Structure 1
Amino acid sequence: MNNNSFLKHILFALTVVFLASCDRDFNSIGTDIIGADNFAFGTPKAYDVVAFNQNSGVVQSSNLPTNALGIYYNPAFGTTTANFATQLELSTVNPTIDATLLPVIESVVLTIPYFSTKTGLKDDGVSGIYELDSIYGPKTSKLKLGVYESGYFMRDLDPSTQETQQYYTNQNSLFDNVKGPLLNNEAVATQNDEFIFSDAELTETVTATDGTVTTTRTAPGMKLNLDTTFFKNKIIDAPSGKLTTNDVFKNYFRGLYFKVEKSGAADTNLAMLNFKGGTITIKYKENTSATVKTRVDKSIILNLTGNSVNLLQNDYLSSYTDGIASPNLTDGDPRLFLKGGEGSMAVINLFGGQDLKGLDSDGNLTNIPNHVSDDLDELRANSLLINDASLTFTIDNNSMSNALTSEPNRIYLYDLNNKKQLTDYTTDLTTRTAQKYNKYIHGGIIEKVAGKGTQYKIKLTNHIRSLIKNDTVTNVRLGLVVTENINDVSNKKLKNSFNLPGILGGNPFEVKYLPTSSVMNPLGTILYGSNPSVPEDKKLKFQIYYTKPN
């Protein structure tokens, strides 16, 4: 019994030590635990932030996940015309085509799916009702659409560097000057001169030899009849060896060039399309043999894969080009112009202010400047517990009043120095059914706030914690762009890089890339910036909620 009592006392003592140890770990400075008795809550504090405009200019637009096609007029920015070029690939290489079997093409159909959601059924209980996504501009708009044979060969590798060949937004003339014949030349205006992005369900009806009729229904998409004579000559009667491999085929048939123009005086619009999901289906009939004249159905499918490029032509308003021409790197700009594609971004410096102090090796404040904001030095010296940190951007509704229907759903904040996502992005694993709203805690999603207007709010709590906990972490410049897909963190190369000085005399650096998600987005927004001339209730806000140890 004495032994049992001794063991109980030992176990009790070990438990107390263990819990005390856990308690020390649990309440260590730098975690996100709040509400303990040994902490006092403070009010949120606003810190200096400087934000200015930067023209991104011409950017690589080859092999994007989605591409724009159409003409979009934004009253705040101007007009963007988006053309597109792509290579084609044989779904099955080296198809068997025997001229002695007298093949005759019946149809050549190009189909490209739209982004859409099925919302119900029509009164017949069979036909689907769809709502199109990523169509910008009036729904009743018309375009003059031309689909041409491409005459320009898109290489895989740059012969001078042996690296991947890059194609840029401003290279439309390369394709337009050498385009081949018009392929969507059917005498039906909706197939070319008066094309519309229709939300109608696509149907195909086939009658079997026994008279059975089968109707296939698919979601809305572009569906164009192409020139059968051209494809008879190009594919069915192709010279020997031209269809044996896709490498050979892509040099022989260099692909398609999609060109859009205004259709008379009609309004225009623009769509984001999954071109790589597109196909050309060549249906033809041929005899079963040289002696048996029974006709059989055959088909060849060409995929819209291989190299591609989105080609942008911009006619921007002077109010926009003047607004980004001379950025104020000291106080920031009154307005921030975020424009996707061949557009512009904002550069953000957290903790602007002055640099009169520094930290010694023990983390104490000194009067020796260190190229770090005094505000950041003080936060580091006080070992504060950061509960929340955010940037809040308010939209200039006066400038965007005519374009609110096409505001970007989201903006994206990233580490501009190192062209990578912030810690808050990578640690946010939240998801939504609509994937473009994933990482919704990190934010950047447009929202209307009562009494404050339309805003974007971005959480960067973990980024600030990292800055404060480790005084060797560089306070990097941040980039802010519109985004088409928050889940895509890849980058595209700028045609002309630009240089930026470091914050408060830090090391300068060169910016060579732009987020792919911004290149894909045709939209733009105008935000209030950090300049002192901006009314306080509209100005860009950088706020930190923290707790001080007692």
Structure 2
Amino acid sequence: MKKTIKALKFSLVFSLLLASFLACDKDFSVIESNVLGEQNANFFTDSVSFQIAAYNKKLEALQINGLSSTLLGVYNDPAYGQTIASIVTQLVPSTYAPDFGDNPVIDSVILTIPYFNRITGTNEDGSTKYTILDSLYGRKSDGSVKQFKLYIYQNKYLIRDIDPFSNTNERQNYFSKADGTVLNGSSNINFDSPSLKGNLVYATDSIVPSSNPTKTSIGTGTNKVTTQSAPALRIKLQNPFWKTAIIDQEGSSSLSSASEFSNYFRGLYFKAEPFNGDGNMILLNLASTNANITIYYSKDSSVAGEKTQASYVLRFTGNILNTFNNDYSTVPFLNGDRTTGDEKLYLKGTEGSMAVVDLFSGANALETFLNDYRIPIGNGNYKKDANGNYILKRLINDAQLIVYEDETMPTQAKYTNGDDYHKYDRLYAYDIKNNIPVDDYSSDPTVNNTSAPYFSTYFHLGLRNTNAAVSKYKIHLTEHLNNILLRDSTNTKLGLTLSSNVNLVGNAKILNSTDEVTSVPTVSIITPRGTRLYGTKSNVPANRKMKLKIFYTNTK
């Protein structure tokens, strides 16, 4: 029996993969044949749709430390409203107890934080060609990038590593609030308060990210050497502040160790503000080895009258918090109806909303499903083989969660305010009981594409089909349902979020959650865009309602 099941599944998966390449949006059909005839076959195939319940879950107080990347800027979503993303980050010196030499003089202080980018080819001069458009949000109708204001302050708040109220030395987590403030589990932190906002280090009205490579020149005249690297936020900072804060601290305990430095220099606060009520938002790669503040300085040489050039590097490898100030005035997010589901489902990142999908929402829905696919023997028990495995009378060949996007939402036009909305976005489904991907994620035969993550895991999670009148997704859940049938899994509820990178499956906690959703995927927090889906309420048109469709083989 096991060999038969495996053979059927292998041939079917191969056929489905082939079909997905030929026509991503075509429903799977049974190709009839009279070679055997149904009366001579020992199995036949069919499909059935299940009534499910999908409802909204409002998100608030989400963990904002330990994220995979960081957002900075201002984003106006026509469907939801405005989000302002700011950053509070520690700095970590490359070396401690430095010797800056005799008579050090700062030449320049350069802040560099790479944007997430992709290589798209080669320019005419032979240099590398990049794009940052899949991590840049906010363009004008002519395609040019909007601007936002940026202020960088010295941060006076000590970002702790360990929770002082934990008996097991647990990590200190920080949680967002929609007004831009932060919770540490016991108190509220406002980085704009005078007691926490220190010296102004930098200010500009015009941050406009570009896909152009970053050029760095060292030396002068014939000794000048220019190198190119990936696109980055590159800012020249004020010399006097860094002379006082770093160079003049040589020999003091402030630069002697990591603990001394983190207590002395508690980091920077990158505060974004709208420019004329608007702006852009960009995903920054603070984890890059090229993300740093470099102090270039000169010191006396051993040769009288000459200077030697040197540098001191501060990296963003400490604690990083991504704060969000949300004005979701156009859509009041609410928790939905768990019994019948909601008419519309709101998926929005940066502390917005997600959906919960109950695959067996009725009182006896799960029992009916088990009775249809297993062989009942009474009293809620089912027939097993000699090895204790359930014997199935129906074999699931493919299970699809079919999801329709709301064609009436403001961002459905391909270019709204210059943005190609949803082009790089994906739906991500996860097991909310264990906060892990469903089994179909790990068994997906499509390769994870790190350079273009919107083409990763596209058999399980599907790709957004835009060829039809209504955009839709197909999320394959075959292994997830087989896990319920064969191993008595009780994980019948899925979380549904928007994701800009389905390769990232880490989780962020929800502070003091009072229901079954205790964590969300971290990437859903740093996905600023939102979408709107049709749900499962009775007033949703039949051709738009979210459904679970199962293709099965019925053995005789």
Which residue of structure 1 aligns with residue 287 of structure 2? 276
**Counterpart Cα distance in 2 of 1:62 and 1:31:** 46
**1:119-268 equivalences in 2 (<5 Å):** 119-123=120-124, 125-132=125-132, 133-138=134-139, 139-161=144-166, 162-170=169-177, 171=181, 174-177=190-193, 178-185=196-203, 192-208=204-220, 211-238=222-249, 240-264=252-276, 267-268=278-279
* Alpha-carbon contact 1:409-1:445 (below 8 Å) kept: no
Judging changes above 3 Å, is the alpha-carbon distance between structure 1 residues 285 and 116 closer, same or farther for their aligned structure 2 residues? same
* Alpha-carbon contact 1:109-1:281 (below 8 Å) kept: yes
**1:370-449 equivalences in 2 (<5 Å):** 383-401=393-411, 405-407=420-422, 409-431=425-447, 432=449, 434-449=452-467
1:464 pairs with 2:469: no
Which residue of structure 2 aligns with residue 490 of structure 1? 506
**Counterpart Cα distance in 2 of 1:381 and 1:55:** 41
Counterpart residue type for residue 336 of structure 2 = P
Counterpart residue type for residue 114 of structure 1 = Y
The structure 2 residue matched to 1:521, chosen from 506, 522, 527, is: 527
**Counterpart Cα distance in 2 of 1:90 and 1:183:** 18
* Alpha-carbon contact 2:90-2:266 (below 8 Å) kept: yes
> Relative to structure 2, which stretch is displaced further, 242-251 or 169-178?
169-178
**Counterpart Cα distance in 1 of 2:445 and 2:238:** 49
**Counterpart Cα distance in 2 of 1:94 and 1:489:** 39
CA deviations over 1:124-144 (Å, ceiling 9, x no partner): x14554321300111420111
Between the two proteins, the alignment pairs up a number of residues equal to 490
Which residue of structure 1 aligns with residue 305 of structure 2? 293
CA deviations over 1:351-377 (Å, ceiling 9, x no partner): 3345297789x94276x899xxxxxxx
* Alpha-carbon contact 1:76-1:402 (below 8 Å) kept: no
* Alpha-carbon contact 1:103-1:286 (below 8 Å) kept: yes
Judging changes above 3 Å, is the alpha-carbon distance between structure 1 residues 413 and 214 closer, same or farther for their aligned structure 2 residues? same
* Alpha-carbon contact 1:243-1:249 (below 8 Å) kept: yes
Could you tell me the TM-score, scaled by structure 1's length? Answer: 0.83
**Counterpart Cα distance in 2 of 1:237 and 1:340:** 43
Which residue of structure 1 aligns with residue 62 of structure 2? 59
Displacement of 1:206: 2.9
The structure 2 residue matched to 1:88, chosen from 84, 88, 91, is: 91
CA deviations over 1:413-432 (Å, ceiling 9, x no partner): 11112222111112124213
Could you tell me the TM-score, scaled by structure 2's length? Answer: 0.82
Displacement of 1:495: 1.8
Which residue of structure 2 aligns with residue 450 of structure 1? 468
Q: Aligned with 1:183: secondary structure?
A: strand
Q: Aligned with 1:69: secondary structure?
A: strand
Judging changes above 3 Å, is the alpha-carbon distance between structure 1 residues 363 and 44 closer, same or farther for their aligned structure 2 residues? closer
Which residue of structure 2 aligns with residue 3 of structure 1? none
**Counterpart Cα distance in 2 of 1:260 and 1:214:** 34
Same amino acid, percent of matched pairs: 35
Q: Aligned with 1:305: secondary structure?
A: coil
* Alpha-carbon contact 2:68-2:523 (below 8 Å) kept: no
**Counterpart Cα distance in 1 of 2:413 and 2:64:** 25
The answer for unaligned runs of 5 or more in structure 1 is 1-23, 186-191, 371-379, 500-509
Displacement of 1:403: 6.6
Structure of greater Rg: 1
Judging changes above 3 Å, is the alpha-carbon distance between structure 1 residues 61 and 297 closer, same or farther for their aligned structure 2 residues? same
**1:293-332 equivalences in 2 (<5 Å):** 293-318=305-330, 320-321=331-332, 324-332=333-341
| Two-structure CA RMSD over aligned residues (Å) | 2.7
Judging changes above 3 Å, is the alpha-carbon distance between structure 1 residues 214 and 334 closer, same or farther for their aligned structure 2 residues? same
1:73 pairs with 2:76: yes
* Alpha-carbon contact 1:350-1:475 (below 8 Å) kept: no
**1:360-375 equivalences in 2 (<5 Å):** 363-364=375-376
The answer for unaligned runs of 5 or more in structure 2 is 13-35, 183-188, 382-389, 415-419
Displacement of 1:288: 2.0
**Counterpart Cα distance in 2 of 1:526 and 1:401:** 9
**Counterpart Cα distance in 1 of 2:335 and 2:520:** 20
Displacement of 1:473: 2.7
CA deviations over 1:60-105 (Å, ceiling 9, x no partner): 010211011011111111111100011001112221124xx11110
Q: Aligned with 1:518: secondary structure?
A: helix
Q: Aligned with 1:32: secondary structure?
A: helix
Judging changes above 3 Å, is the alpha-carbon distance between structure 1 residues 498 and 538 closer, same or farther for their aligned structure 2 residues? same
Which residue of structure 1 aligns with residue 45 of structure 2? 42
Counterpart residue type for residue 67 of structure 2 = L
**Counterpart Cα distance in 2 of 1:347 and 1:93:** 49
Displacement of 1:119: 3.4
**Counterpart Cα distance in 1 of 2:225 and 2:326:** 46
**Counterpart Cα distance in 1 of 2:434 and 2:441:** 15
* Alpha-carbon contact 2:60-2:176 (below 8 Å) kept: no
Which residue of structure 2 aligns with residue 9 of structure 1? none
Judging changes above 3 Å, is the alpha-carbon distance between structure 1 residues 183 and 293 closer, same or farther for their aligned structure 2 residues? same
